[in-house]
Structure 1
Amino acid sequence: MRSAGLLMFRRAAGALELLLAHPGGPFWARKDDGAWTLPKGELQDGEDALAAACREFEEETGCAPTGPFLDLGEVRLKSGKRVQAWAFEGDFDPAHLRCNLFEVEWPPRSGRLRQFPEIDRAGWFDPQAARRKLLAAQQPFVDRLEQLLP
Structure 2
Amino acid sequence: MKRQMKHTTRKKGHVKAFSLAEILIVLAVIGILIMLVVPNQTAVASRAKSIEAQSALNNVYTLQYSYFLQYSKYASELSDIDYVPNKLVTEGGRANYRVELIESSTTGFRAKAEAVVDFNGDGKFNIWEVDETGTVKEVQKD
TM-score range, shorter chain: under 0.3
TM, length-normalised to structure 1 = 0.26
TM, length-normalised to structure 2 = 0.27
Higher fraction of helix: 2
Higher RCO structure, 1 or 2 (CA under 8 Å, sep 6+): 1
Rg (Cα) greater in structure: 2
Higher fraction of strand: 1
